[in-house]
Amino acid sequence: MEKQAIKFKLSISIIKEGSRYVAYAPALDLSSSGKTAAHAKKRFIEAAGIFFEEISKKGTFGIVLRNLGWKRVNSIWSPPKIVASETELFCVTA
């Protein structure tokens, strides 16, 4: 079976936690960290590459992506889309 390159856009959030930055993509449930936002993003791209390489190598590409909420239409894979990102106020008793 011939391998095909796939292209897609993926939402990545960059979060500052203390002195580190975390790059996180809910569509892959994958994250990485770095000393700067750019470094966290670079490391995330590397980790995502390894993730896709491994699921492809193991023959679980479709299974894993479907379990993460991805859809395949006409041979095109699409990640779940973030439709809103909001800040909510919570009050809890601890």
Assign 2 a pLDDT band (cuts: 50, 70, 90): low
What is this structure's pTM?
0.82
Domains of the chain, by residue range, sit at: 13-78
pLDDT in tens, 48-68: 999 999 999 999 999 999 999
pLDDT in tens, 23-54: 999 999 999 999 999 999 999 999 999 999 99
Please provide the DSSP assignment of 10-63 as one string.
---EEEEETTEEEEEETTTTEEEEESSHHHHHHHHHHHHHHHHHHHHHTT-HHH
